[in-house]
Amino acid sequence: MAVTQDNSGPYAPPSTVIDVITRHRTRGLPSPVNADVLARSGVSDSLIPRTLQALQSLDLLDEQGQPTSIFEGLRLAPESEFKQRMAEWLNQAYADVIAFVDPATDDEIKVRDAFRSYKPVGQQARMVTLFLGLYREAGVAPEKSSQPRMLKIKQSVRPRSVPQRTNSSISSQKKPPLVIDSAGIPAPLAGMLAKLPQEGDGWTKARRDKFMTTFESVMDFCFPIIEFEAVELDSLDDD
C-alpha cells in the first residue's frame, strides 16, 4: 500500500520508524508485528498507532502485520548496499510524491506543497518531517550551500584610554593634610605647617614664595622681635 492522496498519509516520527527498521535488521521482529511487539521494541504507547499505520503505508507491513518482502529485503541487505536499498524502497513507497518533488534537490517548502492534498490535513507537517527524515537516512538530501556563511563580527569594546597624569595634575590632587605635632607650637604656626606639601612632593616657586611670606608674618605675630641686648641683660640678671 503506497502513499497516495486516497489514503491517510504516514506521519510517525522518522526516528521511530528508523529504530524499528534497525531493530528488525539487527535482531528481527516477531510476527505479526503488532502493538505489543512495538511496545516491547521501545515504541511509546502514544506513538504505536501512528507507527503501525506508517509501516503499513510504507509497504513494510501488510494488513495482517506480517513483514513484506521489501521489509525483509532491507533486513537482509549488506551494510554497503543498505542505503541504496532504502532509497529504492522510498522511491517506490512515495512514488506519488516524488512525481512532483525531488528529495535530492528540493527544499522543505516544495516538499510541503507536495503534501497539501494529503489527509489528515492537520498532520501534513509531520508527513513532511517523516519524508525528509527517511530520505536523509538513505543518504538523499539537498546538498548544503557551498557559499561561505556570513559571520556576524561582534564589535569589541575597547577600553577607554586613561590620560597620563602630569606632575601638575598629580600635585593638584587632594591628599590627606600633613600631620604636625603641635605640642608647644602656637596654633597659627601649626596651621601654617599643616599646609606644607607631603614629603616627597613638590610645589611651584610661586606657592613656596607665598607660603614663606605668610609664614614670616605669622612667625612675627607669634614671636615678636625684641632687642638682642635686652635679652642678654635679662639673662645676666638671672645669673
Give 39-49 pLDDT, tens digit per residue: 999 999 999 99
Residue 104 in grid coordinates? 535530492
C-alpha cell recorded at residue 117: 492534498
Question: Mean pLDDT across the chain, nearest whole number?
Answer: 82
Non-local (6+) Cβ contacts of 27 within 8 A are none
Q: Is the pLDDT of residue 141 over 70?
A: yes
Label residues 34-72 b or e (16+ Cβ within 10 Å = b): eeebbeebebeeebbebbbbbbbbbbbbbeebebbebbe
The pLDDT value recorded for residue 153 is 41
Peptide bond into 32 cis (omega under 30): yes
> Higher pLDDT residue, 8 or 190?
8
- Which has the closest alpha carbon to 17: 62, 65, 63, 50? 50
Sequence letter at residue 26: T
b/e sequence 79-88, b meaning 16+ C-beta within 10 Å = eeebeebbbb
**Scanning the structure block, which residue is given the C-alpha cell 606644607?**
196
Per residue in 199-208, pLDDT (tens digit) is: 777 778 888 8
In this structure, are residues 51 and 61 in contact, taking their beta carbons and an 8 Å threshold?
A: no
Burial of 97 (0-12, 13-18, 19+ CB in 10 A): buried
Using the predicted structure, report yes or no on whether residue 68 has a pLDDT greater than 60.
Answer: yes
Instruction: Indicate the SS3 state at residue 81.
Output: helix
Per-residue pLDDT of 111-120, as tens digits, reads 999 999 999 9
* CB 54 within 8 Å of CB 10: yes
**pLDDT value at 7 more than 50:** yes
pTM of the model: 0.60
Highest mean pLDDT among 98-102, 172-176, 178-182: 98-102
Helices 14-26 and 124-137: crossing angle in degrees, nearest 10, is 40
Gap between the Cα atoms of 33 and 82, Å rounded: 22
The per-residue DSSP string of 187-231 comes to: HHHHHHHTTSPPTT----HHHHHHHHHHHHHHHHHHS----HHHH
Neighbours of 138 (CB within 10 A): 19
CB 142 within 8 A of CB 104: yes
* pLDDT for 144: 65
How many CA atoms lie within 13 Å of 91's alpha carbon, on the beta-carbon side? 11
